[in-house]
Structure 1
Amino acid sequence: MIGFAFRVAALVFVLAALGFPIFVWSLSRTSADPGTADAIVALTGGEGRLQAGLELLEHGKGGRLLISGVHAETKREELFAAVGGAMPSRAGCCVDLGRGAEDTIGNAGETAAWVAEHNYRSVIVVTASYHMPRSLMELSAVSPFTQFVPYPVFPDRVRLEDWWRDPETTGVLAWEYIKFLGATVRVAAATRFWSQPAGLPEPATIERAPGENAQLVGTPT
């Protein structure tokens, strides 16, 4: 019995190891024009994401932007200054801040609440290329009837073209792959193998654009 369990574990390990280079080679190397969607969500936590989300909003690719995962004590002005720009022209009407998310699961919950509040059907997702597969899986699990359009960005420290030559890049990608595998198992269980939506992890706290002078606090019912 122990020998059988060991062989099964070894097989799982080998399959997972073989899947790693496939995962890496499947990652986007360029950002194609995402077209126009109802809205945009930028997931904080990495280089270039906020700037790309703001640029898409300014170019009319979506009618509204959610910046998910903003620290509770970070002010709007500080957030925009951090990307080296002045307050965007549409910040007063069209940029909402998700204040509660601390990880990708939280990002998905905030986004699902925001999508349900505005009845969006299509949303452009801005995050790092290596983070995109897990993000799309988490988002689709809690908001399966929304079309999520990927718009990847490429942080300088992650060199996808020759990732095997750079220890830092290899480490980042390997850790993300492990998290992707874990998320796949968890989402499969939560959705009964993608046959139903997953439950939202926690209530979302979303600070609306100041022009609306209101807050959305809660989750879709």
Structure 2
Amino acid sequence: MIRRLISLLFLAWAIGFLWFVVALPRPAEDSIKTDAVIVPTGGAGRIARGLEVLDKGLAEKLLVSGVDPEVKPGEFAAQFGVAPGQMACCITLGHDAVDTRSNASETAKWVAQNDVRSLRLVTTDWHMRRTAGELARKLPDHVTVIRDAVPSKPDLGTLFLEYHKLLASRAAGLADL
């Protein structure tokens, strides 16, 4: 009986991991407009994609969550080629988050302060499911989230670790119910 249970659990884990690896989230359509774009720091291409969304007029505001407190707006603008006017009107650097869960908290607070009803979440493909899940637990139900995954070429170790973080995140979410 115990062996069958362990075998069943292992099979469920293996099928889940295979699904996680094979069906990584994809980029969103460029025709979709939202009130804001949210970019948690940490992965290559995320900030560039968030700025591209802003430049194309697909969102009016951008929150970059989890920026190191040492980074000042002028430094950010210089590094990413952002015009001072765009930096002043449209881009917020969030300095409170240190991980995916606190990115969600920082984002939910910013969304409430800025009366955002729809947002585009930009993060790396392998990170999208966990980030979106954490965000869904923090945002009010009336906020629409469009997932815009930045394609990457993660190694097996990254995928293995992220899959387990996703499982832990979902278990924590169930425990919060």
Whether the TM-score (by the shorter chain) exceeds 0.5 is: yes
> Is the partner of 2:58 in helix, strand or coil?
coil
Letter in 2 for 1:101: A
Larger Rg: 1
Distance in 2 (alpha carbons) for counterparts of 1:77 and 1:114: 21
- Aligned counterpart for 2:48 among listed residues 51, 71, 95: 51
Following superposition, the deviation at residue 30 of structure 1 comes to 4.5
Residue 123 of structure 1 corresponds to: 119
Residue 161 of structure 2 corresponds to: 175
Count of residue pairs the alignment pairs up: 176
1:82 is aligned to 2:68: no
> Once the two structures are superposed, what CA deviation does each residue of 1:55-82 show, in whole Å capped at 9, x if it has no partner?
1112111111100000011112222333
Residue 170 of structure 2 corresponds to: 184
Query: As a proportion of its length, which structure holds more helix?
Result: 2
Residue 42 of structure 1 corresponds to: 39
Paired residues of 2:27 and 2:147 also in contact (CA < 8 A): no
Gaps of 5+ in 1: 160-168, 193-221
Distance in 1 (alpha carbons) for counterparts of 2:49 and 2:72: 19
- Aligned counterpart for 1:62 among listed residues 59, 63, 72: 59
Distance in 2 (alpha carbons) for counterparts of 1:186 and 1:34: 35
Residue 151 of structure 2 corresponds to: 154
Gaps of 5+ in 2: none
> Once the two structures are superposed, what CA deviation does each residue of 1:19-38 show, in whole Å capped at 9, x if it has no partner?
11111222134443251111
| Aligned ranges 1:126-145 → 2 under 5 Å | 126-145=122-141
Distance in 1 (alpha carbons) for counterparts of 2:115 and 2:26: 31
> Once the two structures are superposed, what CA deviation does each residue of 1:39-62 show, in whole Å capped at 9, x if it has no partner?
111111010111111111121111
Alignment root-mean-square deviation, CA: 1.9
Q: Cα distance 1:60–1:88, how it changes in 2: closer, same or farther (>3 A)?
A: farther
The percent identity for this pair of structures is 38
1:101 is aligned to 2:87: no
Q: Cα distance 1:122–1:29, how it changes in 2: closer, same or farther (>3 A)?
A: closer
Paired residues of 1:34 and 1:150 also in contact (CA < 8 A): no
